[in-house]
Amino acid sequence: MSRIDLLQPHIPAPGASANVIRTEIRTASPVRGVPGPSVSWRVLVVEPHADDAESLVRGLRRHGHDVASVATGGAALQTYEDADLVLLDLDLPDLDGLEVCRSIRSVCDVAVIAVTARGTELDRVLGLQAGADDYLVKPYGFRELMARMDAVMRRARPEPASARVISCGPLRIDAGSREVRLGGRHIEVTRKEFDVLYLLASHPDIVITRKRLMQQVWGDSWSRRTVDTHVSSLRTKLGAKEWIVTVRGVGFRLGADLVKSGSTA
């Protein structure tokens, strides 16, 4: 039986692997007595023990989350960018979990909860100093994990007073579901790409300075190359570089010409 109390029968994992196991969520069936979340998050589970990983993925899936699971620190460092929240075991087979946490925190502000058997006060201090937003000691209850995830995500991404849908010509950006559609076609974007596009679309008539873009989307961890890479990726996904216009020496703005023309290409 899993060492994690998930309040449900344990089903052994068919096989342990360092490869990413992604589960796309279509419907959710919450565990009785545990309220489901109001939104769905992309959660990366970094857990080397196959039984714990399987139970945790299953529980999160039942609560409507899109879950990816990896078993090593190396795989985590290749996968975390698309996640909203990382559940990170600190006892990994290849890398020190604290170093993985530091590496993630040095380049982005994705929410991280350390989930580990290391339970001393010093361990907790080191985990939080490494950049974890919260620290949970095994064994733990699933209700507590869900409550901590909710609390961390409220701090990391405060919900707006009301969900906003921004329409710019054929471009539709839904802040509630964090979905982007162009001419009715779903555009798959990463968390940071969405934040960049949403910020630009929220102010379609002004130029967003590079400094403001970096501070609001990346906080204290950013670089000029990071911004340029995300803007370039967005242009490719939207099908035209004119969707995001570079104002030399200042920053970026939404492509007013495409918005007015209603172009989807």
Give the whole-number percent of the chain exceeding pLDDT 70: 77
Instruction: List pLDDT tens digits, range 117-173.
Output: 999 999 999 999 999 999 999 999 999 999 999 889 888 765 444 448 888 889 999
Beta strands in 75-133 (DSSP E): 85-88, 111-116
* Verdict on whether the full-model pTM lies above 0.75: no
Contact 53, 45 (CB under 8 A): yes
Angle between helices 224-238 and 191-202 (to 10 degrees): 80
CA-closest candidate to residue 168, choices 205, 216, 194: 205
Instruction: List pLDDT tens digits, range 2-41.
Output: 444 433 333 333 333 334 444 332 323 333 344 444 467 8
Cα 4 from Cα 140, distance rounded (Å): 6
